């Protein structure tokens, strides 16, 4: 025996029945309770200075948050930018993402947007140019327009919800898509409510 | 090795011209960016700097030439960072380390990461290549802010000589306020060399940084209800209690309601271990009674702890029946690892007072906890911390720790490396005061002990002893810092618990890898006593029980650095032990128990 201490062995000790789930939440031992992931749109106001985007994206990658999209741009205020992040995580992960984001010194505020917030993304879809009329018609169905036309290609701009953009991309497949670029979601609260 | 000055070939005439330039630079440093940096350090009340010279940081050193600040030249930048870290732990004020660009900065990284994991207040100042060269892979260039982004509370690239002093001031304020941590300022050489007439203003945190003070009153009320209704409460005091200067509040609170107190490893010293209510440390190598109490409590009041996995074991079995009250100044720590039923975001001392005020309005629950206190005492008797000491056995490390504890005062500062010796150093030493335990917890950095002892020595009072425990493997990682302790004639006693193994790895290999001791045997260990003498320190070798007390007394009495190489039982293991991810209540008390876990 090396370095042993006195006392009863592990099996001879009383052990409680309770337990927690993998998120550290105390649960009924008889019930499995692993939370389902959900999609959350986070809006962060940040100081408009070099390195902020790297700090935010680095935070999300090293903490292994499942990030769907990230957009960034200046706001109506000088020296302030807004970052819109879409993540998919179980509930504790979403809370943790918000708190970790708030901890970054250049971050002014973080808010999770309501599900009915105005959410838009933009896509540029470049397709074969042999049927320009048909491409234009489909673009109009999605409220978009052809923004560049050449002999070989037509490029269409579509703006809307993520679902709408996805549906449009699917539809344009019939013209043979050459290239697609999408921006990720930008979002603001509806009505007079301020997006902090 | 760090190459600090670019190699050049030059004619004598060029050299003379350069000398003239250098004198000019020296004369004009009073109004430079570097001078602003030094003024900001002086304004912040800095006494000591720990660093290593080099090309890109030279203007700052030049400005230091004219200042009253004491600079301790370390053997390696990692040592500078650990020394600054320990200075911050013992003094409570941010320690400062300096390094040049490139390899100097990257050598700081381990020490910065260490301070970050343990929320220690620290400032790192790094030289950087001139602004025009940044991004061009210039000689000794590294993207230092990029590299240190994940391991600093925040960092700065100082791009303007007029504001560089303010930036250093802000870095100080951010490191010190709220949840403490390391900050870094990267200083391009042209910025520190440039002239400026602007003096740094008052050091303050940016307007986006507002750490909370008091917890929400309703949340405090709800938490007080839970504590008042409990049958089996424990307080779990983390490093945040010490960092937040809340040990008096914690002690008064626990004693008023007679609630047993467990500490985390960073929380050692927050509550006196000789108090009946103390269960000492919980977690992987914590006491059996602390782990039993955590496993069976019904309310757990965690204060200033981040519920690290070395404490919790598998989170699914951690305090499985307890409602958790979590007091923390960092909202992101609450419900990160263990869900908090009662989150109390605020300063530790203030929130403890708030809880106390609320509990005062309720019937005193302390009598109701009596049965629980009896149970806890029974566990203390059932799982005592002990070790075997027959004379014919090889020397036991636990005995060495106890003798050193006896030979030094209650306020002795203990620093450690990382490994088995670190565990024995907290298990068998009796800690009663905050800021007397200095160790690498979150990062677990081998070699931390000796450079930390150097920083601790300068932060401690002159009549406080500083004892450093190291293992043979850990000691070898930063042993070169002994040259600094000798040069500065620092009164430090280094106790090497030498088992010619990387002992903790050997213990895990024996327990969990079928005894396949790959790369854990150090049978080629140097003679540490001779090595100490070669550095200019006192050296002792002790291989049996008879020699321990005499060598300890002589080393402690010696006014300077001494190293005692204790040849301990090479097969001794650290117990109790909760295997990684295991259940706190199922700790092994001996090797045979590991099979039952």
Chain B residues touching A1 at Cβ < 8 A: 590-592
Taking only the tens place, the pLDDT of each residue in B375-409 is 999 999 999 999 988 777 899 999 999 999 999 99
**Under 8 Å between Cβ of B287 and B261:** no
Rounded to 5°, the CA angle B490-B428-B290 comes to 130
Taking only the tens place, the pLDDT of each residue in B253-274 is 999 999 999 999 999 999 999 9
The per-residue pLDDT for B54 is 98
Mean pLDDT of chain A: 91
pLDDT in tens, chain A (196 residues): 455 899 999 999 999 988 898 888 988 766 666 778 999 999 999 999 888 999 999 999 999 998 899 999 999 999 999 999 999 998 889 999 999 999 999 999 999 999 999 999 999 999 999 999 999 999 999 999 999 999 999 999 999 999 999 999 999 999 999 999 999 999 999 998 888 7
Q: Which DSSP string do the residues of B521-549 spell out, in sequence order?
A: B-TT---HHHHHHHHTSEEEEE-SHHHHH
Q: Which DSSP string do the residues of chain A spell out, in sequence order?
A: --S---S--GGGS---S-EE-TTS-EE-TTS--PPPEEEEEEEEEEE--TTHHHHHHHHHHHTT--EEEEEEEE-SSTTEEEEEEEEEEEHHHHHHHHHHHHHSTTEEEEEEPPTTSEEEEEEEEEEETT-HHHHHHHHHHTT-EEEEE-SSEEEEEEEE-HHHHHHHHHHHGGG-EEEEEE---EEE-STT----
Which of A7, A17, A19 is opposite residue B383, by nearest beta carbon? Answer: A7
Residue of B253, B193, B242 whose CA lies nearest to B25: B193
**Residue B25 reports pLDDT greater than 90:** no
Q: Is A163 on the interface with B (CB under 8 A)?
A: no
The per-residue pLDDT for A31 is 65
Q: Is A62 on the interface with B (CB under 8 A)?
A: yes
**Residue B21 reports pLDDT greater than 70:** no
CA distance B442 to B464: 26
- State how far Cα B273 lies from the chain centre: 19
- Decide if A105 and B318 are in contact by the 8 Å CB cutoff: no
Give CA separation, B588 vs B284, B444, B519, B585, in Å.
Answer: 10, 22, 25, 9
Sequence-separated (6 or more) residues with CB below 8 Å from residue A126: A148, A153, A154, A155, A156, A177, A178, A179, A180
> Strand pairing of B466-471 and B413-416?
parallel
A-B contacts at Cβ under 8 angstroms = 139
Chain B residues touching A16 at Cβ < 8 A: 295-296, 320-321, 585
Chain B residues touching A8 at Cβ < 8 A: 382
The per-residue pLDDT for A27 is 84
Give CA separation, A12 vs B84, B187, B355, B551, in Å.
Answer: 47, 61, 37, 43
CA distance B512 to B44: 50
Average pLDDT over residues B498-522: 95
The ipTM estimated for the assembled molecules is 0.90
């Amino acid at each position: 025996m090396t370095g042993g201490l006195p006392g009863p062995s592990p099996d001879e000790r009383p052990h409680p029945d309770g337990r927690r789930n993998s998120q550290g939440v105390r649960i009924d031992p008889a019930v499995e309770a692993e939370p389902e992931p959900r999609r959350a749109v986070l809006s962060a106001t940040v100081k408009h200075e070099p390195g902020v985007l790297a700090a935010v994206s680095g935070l999300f990658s090293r903490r292994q948050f499942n990030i769907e999209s990230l957009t960034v741009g200046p706001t109506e205020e000088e020296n302030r930018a807004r970052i819109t992040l879409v993540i998919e995580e179980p509930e504790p992960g979403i809370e943790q993402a918000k708190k970790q984001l708030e901890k970054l010194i250049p971050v002014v505020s973080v808010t999770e947007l309501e599900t009915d917030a105005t959410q838009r993304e933009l896509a540029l879809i470049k397709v074969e140019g042999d049927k320009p009329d048909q491409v234009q018609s489909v673009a109009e169905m999605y409220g978009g327009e052809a923004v560049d036309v050449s002999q070989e290609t037509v490029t269409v701009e579509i703006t809307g919800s993520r679902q709408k953009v996805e549906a449009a991309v699917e539809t344009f497949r019939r013209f043979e898509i050459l290239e697609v670029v999408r921006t990720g979601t930008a979002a603001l609260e509806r009505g007079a409510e301020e997006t902090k | 090795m760090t190459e600090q000055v670019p190699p050049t070939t030059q004619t004598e005439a060029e050299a003379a011209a350069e000398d003239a330039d250098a004198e000019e630079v020296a004369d004009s440093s009073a109004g430079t960016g570097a001078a602003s940096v030094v003024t900001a350090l002086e304004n912040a009340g800095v006494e000591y700097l720990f660093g290593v010279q080099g090309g890109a940081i030279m203007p700052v050193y030049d400005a230091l030439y004219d200042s009253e600040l004491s600079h301790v030249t370390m053997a390696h930048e990692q040592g500078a960072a650990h020394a600054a870290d320990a200075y911050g732990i013992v003094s409570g004020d941010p320690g400062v380390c300096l390094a040049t660009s490139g390899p100097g900065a990257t050598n700081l990284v381990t020490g910065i990461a260490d301070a970050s994991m343990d929320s220690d207040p620290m400032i790192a100042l790094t030289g950087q290549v001139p602004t025009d060269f940044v991004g061009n892979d210039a000689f000794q260039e590294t993207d230092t802010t990029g590299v240190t982004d994940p391991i600093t509370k925040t960092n700065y690239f100082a791009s303007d000589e007029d504001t560089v002093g303010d930036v250093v001031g802000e870095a100080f304020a951010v490191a010190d306020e709220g949840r403490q941590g390391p900050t870094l300022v990267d200083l391009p050489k042209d910025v520190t060399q440039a002239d400026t007439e602007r003096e740094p203003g008052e050091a303050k945190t940016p307007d986006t940084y507002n750490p909370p003070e008091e917890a929400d009153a309703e949340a405090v009320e709800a938490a007080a209800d839970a504590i008042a209704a409990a049958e089996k409460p424990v307080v779990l005091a983390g490093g945040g209690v010490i960092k937040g200067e809340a040990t008096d509040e914690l002690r008064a609170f626990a004693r008023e309601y007679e609630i047993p107190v467990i500490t985390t490893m960073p929380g050692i010293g927050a509550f006196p271990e000789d108090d009946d209510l103390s269960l000492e440390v919980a977690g992987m190598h914590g006491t059996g009674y602390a782990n039993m109490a955590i496993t069976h409590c019904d309310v757990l009041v965690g204060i200033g702890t981040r519920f690290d996995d070395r404490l919790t074991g598998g989170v699914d079995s951690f305090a499985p029946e307890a409602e958790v009250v979590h007091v923390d100044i960092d909202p992101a720590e609450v419900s990160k690892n263990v869900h908090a039923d009662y989150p109390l975001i605020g300063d530790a001392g203030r929130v403890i007072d708030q809880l106390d005020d609320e509990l005062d309005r309720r019937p005193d629950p302390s009598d109701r906890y009596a049965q629980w206190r009896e149970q806890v005492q029974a566990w203390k008797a059932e799982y005592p911390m002990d070790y075997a000491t027959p004379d014919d056995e090889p020397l036991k490390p636990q005995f060495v720790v106890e003798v050193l504890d006896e030979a030094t005062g209650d306020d002795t500062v203990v620093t450690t490396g990382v490994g088995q010796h670190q565990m024995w150093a907290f298990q068998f030493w009796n800690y009663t005061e905050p800021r007397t335990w200095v160790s690498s917890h979150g990062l677990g950095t081998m070699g931390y002990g000796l450079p930390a002892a150097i920083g601790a020595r300068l932060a401690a009072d002159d009549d406080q002893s500083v004892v450093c425990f190291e293992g043979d493997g850990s000691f070898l990682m930063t042993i070169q810092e002994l040259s600094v302790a000798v040069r500065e004639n620092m009164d430090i006693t280094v106790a090497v618990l030498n088992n010619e193994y990387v002992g903790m790895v050997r213990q895990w290999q024996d327990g969990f890898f079928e005894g396949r001791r790959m790369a854990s045997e150090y049978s080629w260990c140097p003679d540490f006593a001779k090595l100490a003498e070669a550095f200019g320190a006192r050296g002792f070798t002790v291989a049996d029980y008879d020699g321990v007390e005499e060598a300890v007394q002589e080393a402690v009495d010696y006014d300077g650095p001494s190293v005692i190489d204790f040849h301990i039982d090479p097969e001794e293991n650290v117990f109790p032990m909760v295997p990684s991810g295991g259940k706190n209540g199922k700790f092994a008390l001996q090797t045979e128990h590991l099979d039952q876990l």
